[in-house]
Amino acid sequence: MNILFMNSARTWGGTEKWTRMASEAMAKDHKTFLVYRREVVGDRFTIPKFRLPCLSHIDLYTLFKLVQIIRKEKIEVIIPTKRKDYVIAGLASRICGIKNILRLGIVRPLSIPILHKLIYHTLADGIIVNAQKIKKTLLETYFMQEEKIRVIYNGLDTEALDRLSLPPAQKRFKFQITTAGILTKRKGHDFLLRSFAQFLKLAPDADAGIIIIGDGPKKEELIALTDELKISERVHFTGFLENPYPNMAISDIIAMTSTNEGISNALLEGMYLKNVPVSTFAGGTEELIDNGKNGFLVDYCNETTLAAILHELYRNDQQRKQISEAAKETVIQKFSMHSMTKEVVHFCQESIKSRSRIKKEKE
């Protein structure tokens, strides 16, 4: 198959990481290509790629060039991975007579019936989601068809993680909490910091701290919050790291305190590297974490409960060890790169076959 991925992101994040992993894994047996907007994304891909402006949801120049690429490279399936790309990819697919399979990695209620019916039904032949909860939310809308939605869990390149996590970084704190991701309101870093401040009231002498990996618009606000909470000496902002894994490898806890997610890549990576996952109930985390067995779940903004979980894990080394090992085993069993790639390929092939069947029926 000839498959074109599209990602117009301005920064590097979880969706971009998924796009790279999927497209490059599939490139072993198929021809895969990328359309991108910013070099911060495109420069990380080794597959053939095309840079387009992607200025808006309906950028006519980008649409024109996209149609040219599809025809020149004989593309059979286009997979847009950002919401901004869905309309242009859908229009290009209809102009060229190919399949359009959206990739959605976050819970998104469809609240604008006319517009969303066009994007997610009329212009889409399929939707890849990474959690059952996302699928369930989509199906709450009357026009969505269950057979169009395929749950495909994120896969991890565990061999690359093993390689990139060495040598491990130097540990800053005896009890170290790590969180990774773009610094936006949705990621809930303020909730984590406030909860950590409460934890320190329970264990004021603890050699404990937080490593925040990533950059983003809320960074200065978060730094100010650490000053306000009087925990600035216990919180280290690394900024964006090309390779965060040496830091994750020596961490005790991977925290994901978002208000909304699909299933976080950073959470999976931390689990594989034997961190105890502590997460909000956002998105599909309940499909990943069995509370108390391979991690912990907490309601967003429940600072008292999160502080108590951190305190329990701080006090009990054996519990941390058992849960972190169970977390790694969960990732190995359910989130392999091979399974993800195989399922994406199969979904694309099914979509192409359905088009051929419809053509024959019309003839």
Nearest to 280 by CA among 293, 295, 294: 295
Average pLDDT over residues 136-162: 95
User: What is the band of 356 on the pLDDT scale with cuts at 50, 70, 90?
Assistant: low
The mean pLDDT value for 218-222 works out to: 97
State residue 262's pLDDT score: 84
Residue 363, pLDDT > 80, answer no
Q: What is the DSSP letter of 123?
A: S
Of the pLDDT bands very low, low, confident and very high (cuts 50, 70, 90), residue 357 is low
In tens, the pLDDT along 195-213 reads: 999 999 999 999 999 999 9
Q: What is the rounded CA–CA span in Å between residue 306 and residue 316?
A: 16
Other Cβ atoms less than 10 A from the Cβ of 347: the count is 20
Is the CATH code 1.10.3720.10 the one for domain 2-155+337-362? no
The residue ranges of DSSP E strands in the chain, in sequence order, are 2-7, 31-36, 49-51, 77-80, 99-104, 126-129, 149-151, 175-180, 208-213, 235-239, 253-256, 276-280, 296-298
Residue spans of the domains in the chain: they are 2-155+337-362, 159-334
Q: Which of the pair, 269 or 358, is modelled with greater confidence?
A: 269
CA-based radius of gyration for the chain? 21
Would 2-155+337-362 and 159-334 be classified into the same CATH topology? yes
pLDDT at 292: 95
Least confident window among 236-245, 260-269, 347-356: 347-356
| pLDDT top residue among 58 and 124 | 124
User: 4 - beta bridge partners?
Assistant: 33, 78
CA 229 – CA 212 distance, rounded (Å): 16
3-state SS, residue 253: strand
Average pLDDT over every residue of 26-52: 98
Is the Cβ–Cβ distance between 22 and 36 less than 8 Å?
Answer: no
The arithmetic mean of pLDDT across residues 109-137, rounded, is 95
Asked if CATH classification 3.90.226.10 holds for the domain at 159-334, the reply, yes or no, is no
Q: What is the pLDDT of residue 354?
A: 81
**pTM of the model as a whole:** 0.89
Rounded to whole angstroms, how far apart are CA atoms 277 and 24? 28
Report, as an integer, the average pLDDT of 138-150.
Answer: 96
Task: Give all strands of the β-sheet with 296-298 in edge-to-edge order.
Answer: 235-239, 208-213, 175-180, 253-256, 276-280, 296-298
DSSP 318: H
Compute the average pLDDT of residues 250-265. Answer: 93
pLDDT at res. 261: 86
pLDDT digits (tens, 9 = 90+) for 154-198: 999 999 999 999 999 999 999 999 999 999 999 999 999 999 999
Q: What percent of the chain has pLDDT over 70?
A: 98
